[in-house]
């Protein structure tokens, strides 16, 4: 049950998604997924490989249309089956931050420029966010690397930069898709601790897709995606 | 700053942070620069040739030529009427025809033109033509000190001929050589020959000093033997004798200082005219007219007759057996008509109207339209050949950018996931094309400016490598690139337009080359892009 005093950051109602496979048959990946995330709360999603975890995150971020369902980004209701449009892209840049397993830092930019790329995309004032970017890099322990390019960083450092980039715009929700998947256990643990603590400090909701049960337990709510449905545990 | 992030990212992909240079960027920019450089240089040189020919033609015949449409015309009055217009600087009448020239057993039938003598500055810069045609005699123990002939030498029994005619007939103008073996002392001073006219006889002249002040001037024929002082430096004995001028040097002359000169008289030509043939038919045999060669001239415009003679108008009247005849005028106008052909055409039409249809006024560009059409055709052909080269460069840029798109699929997905619109993501690649085009065009302009600045050195280097030193002289006979006026863009509107045209062309083509990769990036499904391996 949700706390009535806390605002809903992200809500999905009846999200379904299927993919065409050979011939006319369809693979139903998501089947009426229900999800509700309050601001400052965190939710983990586990599931077998190929069960649709990443697809669910893509639908929540409106990177691709669902077959059915409705999304709420804060108070904004979105028809999830509609084709993503440029207004949603603009809103996404301010409302949602993304963290991926492969970091996806832009190799031609320095660490600082990578973090501020979110600000540029949101068309926010760079001067207003430079201090915040530096603060986040300090929190992530990579402030001294801010003038370096991503290829000079370790995997853990790159993921910390990616987390700082996701948070710099003060989004309401972070969608993290196996953020520790490419890291060793110790570094993964450190990064996860940082992600959880920073989301808590920044009062940002977190949807975490992970295979690691201990990381899943660290979130406020845990769920498993099974047979196209989200089962809360 | 709310910067346009596609431009920022496009710039960074071409010039990444923490790296001095991107190999792809340098190659692409230099490629565009070389293309722009070649196109600008070729067109600028073609325009330079056009300018030179335009200048040469106007020198050779004025801005316009008037041709009579009636036989009986009061042409002197018509000249006054034309000259009364403020736009007209000068009008020179002429007569023309063909005459038979003979020197011993050699003959030539040059185009012959009679002009008004005594015109200090006529429509045609004949003094310049005489200067161009002057070839000094190369002596073993002497040097040619003949002063350059001028229009002042032209009179009824003197003609100027082109080099071709002079060579065919084996004639030359009066010449004076200074002999080196005399006891002359250049450190003390010099004796100059200020004038040698066509009536000077072949002779030997000596100037010998008695002391620092006084000298004796004598000739070998014995007709002149006089004393002079350096207080009266010019010795003018009149027409038929060389005019000397004594110049004192840093040290005074001393007794025995001697300057010796050898003069050679100008060749005498025998001239026959068609009128003489008519007289012969009536059993009136007239002797040939004897004239002296006053100078050799060369008209830089190759379209002018290679075999030509210039005499006085009265000489031509005599040869044709006519009185007060005129075959036309050369008209020189204000400088503003040099470039403005439309205005020149309008003025010529006005002049025709003013002269009540008795004259046809032909502007230079109409009379030589065939030549300029040919030059224009050549210029367009060059551009047509070069445009595909530009397009090949554009394809190369498009392919390189397309490769970049394929290499950056997941980054493209990420940018959309971070809030970028698909069009903005596509714009990154379009902007890269724009940046490559703009920087390439600027660099190409710099190359072109350097080429124009050092064109003589570069052209000489290229031509001598291809044709050798001797071949270079042959090439410059037809394409005298050393005297080409290739203006910089800040000097000429036409040059500025050339530079701007090719800058815009390069930027447009490069930007368009980026459109295909941009379209490919924009239609990419971000979710699939993020999933791609």
Note the pLDDT tens digit of each residue in B182-210: 555 555 778 889 999 999 999 999 998 88
Average pLDDT over residues B129-135: 86
Q: Write the CB contacts of B259 (distance below 8 Å, at least 6 apart in sequence).
A: B178, B182, B184, B190, B191, B206, B207, B208
Q: Do residues B161 and B291 make contact, with C-beta atoms less than 8 angstroms apart?
A: no
Q: Does B161 touch chain A (CB under 8 A)?
A: no
Nearest to B358, CA basis, from B326, B333, B322: B326
- Between the two ends of chain B, the Cα-to-Cα distance in Å is 35
For chain A, how many helices (H) and strands (E)? Answer: 7, 10
pLDDT tens, B152-186? 888 899 999 999 999 999 999 999 999 876 555 55
Architecture field, domain A39-64+84-232: 3-Layer(aba) Sandwich (3.40)
Q: Do residues A105 and A155 make contact, with C-beta atoms less than 8 angstroms apart?
A: no
Confidence of residue B263 (pLDDT cuts 50, 70, 90): very high
Per DSSP, the three-state class of A8 is strand
Angle of CA points B413, B414, B415, to nearest 5°? 95
Cα of A32 to nearest chain B Cα, Å: 20
Pairwise CA distance, residues B512 & B145, whole Å:
66
The 3-state secondary structure of B260-296 reads: EEEEECCCEEEEECHHHHHHHHCCCCCCCEEEEEEEE
Domain ranges for chain A, please list them. Answer: 39-64+84-232
Q: Which of A56, A58, A179 should one mutate to test binding to chain B, selecting the residue with the greatest count of B CBs within 10 A?
A: A58
Exposure string (b/e) for B277-288, b if CB count within 10 Å is 16 or more? eeeeeeeeeeee
Q: What percent of chain B has pLDDT over 70?
A: 95
Who has greater pLDDT, B529 or B533?
B529
pLDDT tens, B8-36? 989 988 888 877 777 888 888 898 898 88
- Can you give the pLDDT at residue B533? 62
- Can you give the pLDDT at residue B183? 55
The 3-state secondary structure of B217-243 reads: EEECCCCCEEEEECCCCEECCCCCCCE
Helix, strand, coil share of chain B (percent; to 5): 50, 20, 30
- Can you give the pLDDT at residue B488? 86
**Nearest-by-Cβ selection for A92 from B16, B419, B423:** B419
- Can you give the pLDDT at residue B479? 63
Q: Do residues B71 and B483 make contact, with C-beta atoms less than 8 angstroms apart?
A: no
- Can you give the pLDDT at residue B186? 55
Q: Do residues B31 and B440 make contact, with C-beta atoms less than 8 angstroms apart?
A: yes
Residues of A within 8 A of B409 (CB-CB) are none
Q: In Å, what is the CA distance from B469 to each residue of B45, B138, B375?
A: 22, 20, 27
Q: Which of B419, B423, B427, B527 should one mutate to test binding to chain A, selecting the residue with the greatest count of A CBs within 10 A?
A: B419
Neighbours of B368 (CB within 10 A): 21
Q: Does B5 touch chain A (CB under 8 A)?
A: yes
Confidence of residue B477 (pLDDT cuts 50, 70, 90): low
Pairwise CA distance, residues B117 & B103, whole Å:
25
Burial of B223 (0-12, 13-18, 19+ CB in 10 A): exposed
Q: Find residue B190's DSSP bridge partners.
A: B247
Residues of B within 8 A of A98 (CB-CB) are 414, 417-418
- Can you give the pLDDT at residue A3? 58
What is the distance of C-alpha B72 from the center of its chain? Answer: 38
- Can you give the pLDDT at residue B173? 93
pLDDT tens, B382-435? 888 888 877 887 888 888 888 888 888 888 888 888 888 888 888 898 898 899
| pTM recorded for the entire structure | 0.72
Cα of A137 to nearest chain B Cα, Å: 19
Exposure string (b/e) for A211-222, b if CB count within 10 Å is 16 or more? ebeebbebbebb
Ranges A181-185, B13-17, B206-210, B489-493: which has the least confidence: A181-185
Stated length of chain A: 233
Stated length of chain B: 533
Name the residue in chain A with its Cα closest to that of B531.
A54
DSSP-derived letter for residue B483 is: G
Stretch 394-413 of chain B: residues touching chain A, C-beta under 8 Å: 410-411, 413
Average pLDDT over residues B30-45: 87
Q: In Å, what is the CA distance from B374 to each residue of A187, B48, B195, B478, B485?
A: 77, 15, 44, 15, 20
pLDDT tens, B137-153? 887 788 899 999 888 88
Give, to the nearest 10 degrees, the angle between helix A185-202 and helix A126-139. Answer: 140
Name the residue in chain B with its Cα closest to that of A97.
B418
**Nearest-by-Cβ selection for A109 from B12, B418, B530:** B12
Cα dihedral A153, A155, A160, A164 sign = positive
Phi-psi region of B238 (alpha: psi -120 to 50; beta: other; left: phi over 0): left
Phi-psi region of A157 (alpha: psi -120 to 50; beta: other; left: phi over 0): alpha
Name the residue in chain B with its Cα closest to that of A94.
B419
pLDDT exceeds cutoff 90 at B49 = no
Q: Does B532 touch chain A (CB under 8 A)?
A: no
Q: Does B419 touch chain A (CB under 8 A)?
A: yes
- Can you give the pLDDT at residue B241? 92
Q: What is the DSSP string of B49-96?
A: HHHHHHHHHHHHH-SEEEEESSSS--HHHHHHHHHTSTTEEEEEEEEE
The encoded tokens of residue B242 equal 């060389």
Q: Do residues B53 and B302 make contact, with C-beta atoms less than 8 angstroms apart?
A: no
What is the distance of C-alpha B146 from the center of its chain? Answer: 26
DSSP-derived letter for residue A84 is: P
Q: Compute the mean pLDDT over every residue in chain B, rounded to the nearest whole number.
A: 85
Residues of A within 8 A of B7 (CB-CB) are none
Pairwise CA distance, residues A102 & B250, whole Å:
91
Confidence of residue B3 (pLDDT cuts 50, 70, 90): very low
Name the residue in chain B with its Cα closest to that of A130.
B1
Pairwise CA distance, residues B312 & B52, whole Å:
29
Stretch 28-57 of chain B: residues touching chain A, C-beta under 8 Å: none
pLDDT exceeds cutoff 50 at A79 = yes
Q: Do residues B436 and B400 make contact, with C-beta atoms less than 8 angstroms apart?
A: no
Pairwise CA distance, residues B533 & B528, whole Å:
10
Pairwise CA distance, residues A222 & A208, whole Å:
9
Average pLDDT over residues B286-304: 87
Residue B37 CB-half CA count within 13 A: 18
Q: Compute the mean pLDDT over every residue in chain A, rounded to the nearest whole number.
A: 88
Q: Do residues B292 and B158 make contact, with C-beta atoms less than 8 angstroms apart?
A: yes
Confidence of residue B2 (pLDDT cuts 50, 70, 90): very low
- Can you give the pLDDT at residue B271? 94
Average pLDDT over residues A208-233: 89
């Amino acid at each position: 049950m949700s706390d009535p005093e806390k605002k809903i950051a992200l809500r999905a109602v009846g999200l379904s998604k299927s993919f065409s496979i050979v011939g006319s048959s369809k693979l139903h990946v998501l089947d009426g997924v229900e999800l509700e995330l309050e601001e400052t709360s965190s939710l983990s999603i586990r599931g077998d490989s190929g069960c649709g975890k990443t697809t669910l995150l893509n639908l929540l971020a409106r990177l691709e249309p669902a077959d059915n369902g409705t999304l709420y980004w804060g108070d904004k209701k979105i028809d999830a089956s509609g084709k993503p449009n440029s207004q949603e892209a603009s809103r996404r840049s301010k409302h949602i931050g993304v963290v991926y397993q492969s970091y996806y830092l832009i190799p031609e930019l320095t660490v600082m420029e990578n973090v501020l790329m979110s600000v540029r995309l949101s068309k926010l004032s760079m001067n207003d966010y430079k201090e915040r970017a530096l603060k986040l890099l300090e929190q992530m322990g990579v402030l001294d690397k801010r003038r370096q390019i991503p290829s000079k960083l370790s995997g853990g450092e790159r993921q910390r930069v990616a987390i700082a980039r996701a948070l710099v715009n003060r989004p309401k929700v972070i969608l993290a898709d196996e953020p520790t998947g490419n890291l060793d256990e110790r570094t993964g643990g450190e990064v996860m601790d940082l992600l959880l603590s920073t989301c808590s400090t920044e009062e940002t909701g977190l949807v975490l897709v992970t295979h690691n049960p201990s990381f899943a337990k660290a979130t406020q709510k845990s769920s498993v995606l099974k047979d196209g449905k989200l089962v809360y545990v | 700053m709310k910067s346009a992030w596609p431009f920022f990212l496009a710039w960074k992909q071409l010039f990444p942070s923490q790296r001095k240079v991107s190999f792809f960027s340098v190659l692409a920019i230099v490629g565009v620069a070389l293309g722009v450089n070649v196109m600008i240089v070729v067109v600028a040189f073609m325009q330079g040739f056009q300018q030179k020919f335009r200048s040469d033609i106007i020198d050779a015949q004025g801005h316009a030529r008037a041709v009579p449409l009636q036989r009986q015309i009061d042409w002197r009055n018509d000249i006054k009427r034309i000259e009364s217009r403020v736009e007209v600087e000068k009008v020179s009448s002429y007569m023309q025809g063909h005459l038979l020239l003979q020197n011993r057993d050699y003959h030539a039938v040059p185009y012959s033109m009679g002009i008004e003598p005594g015109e200090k500055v006529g429509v045609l810069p004949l003094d310049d033509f005489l200067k161009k045609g002057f070839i000094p005699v190369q002596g073993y123990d002497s040097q040619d000190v003949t002063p350059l002939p001028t229009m002042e030498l032209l009179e009824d029994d003197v003609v100027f001929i082109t080099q071709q005619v002079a060579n065919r007939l084996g004639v030359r103008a009066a010449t004076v050589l200074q002999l080196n073996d005399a006891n002359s002392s250049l450190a003390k001073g010099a004796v100059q020959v200020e004038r040698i006219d066509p009536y000077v006889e072949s002779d030997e002249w000596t100037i010998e000093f008695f002391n620092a002040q006084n000298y004796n001037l004598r000739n070998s024929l014995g007709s002149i033997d006089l004393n002079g002082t350096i207080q009266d430096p010019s010795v003018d004995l009149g027409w038929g004798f060389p005019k000397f001028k004594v110049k004192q040097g840093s040290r005074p002359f001393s007794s025995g200082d001697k300057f010796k000169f050898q003069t050679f008289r100008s060749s005498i030509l025998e001239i026959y005219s068609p009128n003489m043939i008519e007289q012969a038919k009536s059993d009136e045999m007239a002797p040939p007219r004897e004239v002296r060669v006053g100078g050799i001239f060369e008209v830089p415009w190759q379209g002018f007759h290679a075999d030509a003679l210039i005499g006085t108008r009265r000489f031509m009247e005599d040869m044709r057996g006519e009185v007060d005849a005129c075959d036309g005028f050369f008209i020189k106008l204000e400088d503003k008509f040099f470039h403005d052909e439309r205005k020149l055409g309008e003025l010529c039409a006005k002049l025709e109207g003013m002269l009540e249809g008795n004259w046809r006024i032909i502007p230079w560009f109409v009379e030589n339209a065939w030549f300029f059409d040919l030059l224009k055709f050549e210029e367009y052909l060059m551009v047509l050949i070069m445009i595909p080269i530009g397009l090949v460069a554009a394809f190369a840029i498009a392919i390189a950018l397309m490769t970049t798109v394929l290499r950056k699929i997941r980054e493209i997905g990420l940018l959309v996931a971070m809030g970028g619109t698909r069009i903005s993501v596509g714009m990154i690649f379009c902007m890269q094309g724009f940046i490559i085009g703009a920087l390439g065009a600027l660099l190409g302009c710099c190359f072109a400016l350097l080429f124009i600045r050092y064109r003589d050195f570069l052209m000489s280097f290229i031509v001598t490598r291809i044709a050798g030193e001797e071949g270079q002289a042959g090439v410059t006979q037809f394409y005298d690139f050393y005297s080409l006026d290739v203006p910089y863009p800040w000097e000429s509107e036409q040059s500025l337009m050339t530079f701007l045209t090719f800058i815009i062309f390069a930027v447009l083509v490069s930007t368009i080359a980026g459109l295909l990769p941009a379209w490919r990036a924009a239609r990419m499904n971000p979710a699939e892009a993020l999933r791609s391996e």
